[in-house]
Structure 1
Amino acid sequence: MYTPAFSRAASAYRQVSAQSGVESASPHRLVQMLFEGLLQNLNAARGAMLRGEVEAKGVQLGRAVRILEEGLKGGLNREQGGELAMNLWALYDYCIRRLTHANLHNDAQAVEEVVSLVEPVAQGWQAIASTPEAAARQ
């Protein structure tokens, strides 16, 4: 299959741009990026479900689960984070189970449930960035 040169160049640019964005991001920004990617994948999965695109649904849900498992859940320090870290760990674990169910049963409602659970956490994380304390650390 032939891919035009401009498509290959645009793809390479996006990869380099994303990589350099990650390399220069603060830890707080990295978590924001994880939430952004998670919500994008969840919305793409819902769209794929509605269109009956089984493979695309599986890819998007797989990415979402990986962000939850390796990025968000994996980044928690349950010893130092106390009750908040434990609650987030339990939330992410529940979301992973719901997305696994959604993938196996083509359940768009389960994906919507995860979105409704994750969005407030993502918004809270976003709000932290706008506090004066956060601005001083940047």
Structure 2
Amino acid sequence: MSADQGINAYQQISLQTDIAGATPHQLIVMLFDGAHSALAQAGIWMARGNIARRGEEVSRAIAIIECGLLATLDYEKGKTLAQDLANLYRYMIYTLLKANLNNDPEAIKHVDALLKKISSAWKEITPQR
């Protein structure tokens, strides 16, 4: 096992442990953090001209937004807010697809800034027990 494989294995175990002990609120925070990390990596790979790695990271961010943030919205409780967030998440997904296709770092930064605003607001919420 190489050093990189060992580090990756350790990170996976650490992440699984964090997920297992997290509240639903903390899981959403982790999704935001994961999307931000993927977009930061996509920007780095874009700057280096590595199309394949850029695509992987943009795809990872899209999956987090679509299968994590969008899929967990509660339309019954959230009503208009949930619908507005769903529309915003769909906009982000579309923008990231175009950013990847057109090699557009500004579009990636734009989506990341939107995610940071929502994440910041989410982190200020105190979950009710």
TM-score w.r.t. structure 2 length?
0.93
> 1:13 deviation in Å?
1.8
Cα deviations by residue, 1:68-105 (Å, 9 ceiling, x for unpaired): 00000000122331111011000000000000001111
Where 1:79 maps in the other structure, the secondary structure is helix
Tell me which amino acid in the other structure corresponds to 1:113. Answer: H
Q: Identity of counterpart residues, as a percentage?
A: 36
Structure 2 residue 119 is matched with structure 1 residue 122: yes
Query: Which residue in the other structure is 2:16 paired with?
Result: 19
TM-score w.r.t. structure 1 length?
0.87
2-side partners of 1:10 and 1:119: how far apart?
Answer: 27
Tell me which amino acid in the other structure corresponds to 1:16. Answer: I
Provide the alpha-carbon RMSD of the alignment: 1.4
Q: Radius of gyration: which is bigger?
A: 1
Query: Which residue in the other structure is 2:108 paired with?
Result: 111
Structure 2 residue 61 is matched with structure 1 residue 67: no
Tell me which amino acid in the other structure corresponds to 1:68. Answer: I
Residues 8 and 45 of structure 1, relative CA distance in 2, 3 Å threshold: closer
Query: Which residue in the other structure is 2:95 paired with?
Result: 98
> 1:45 deviation in Å?
0.6
2-side partners of 1:41 and 1:7: how far apart?
Answer: 18
Gaps of 5+ in 1: none
Gaps of 5+ in 2: none
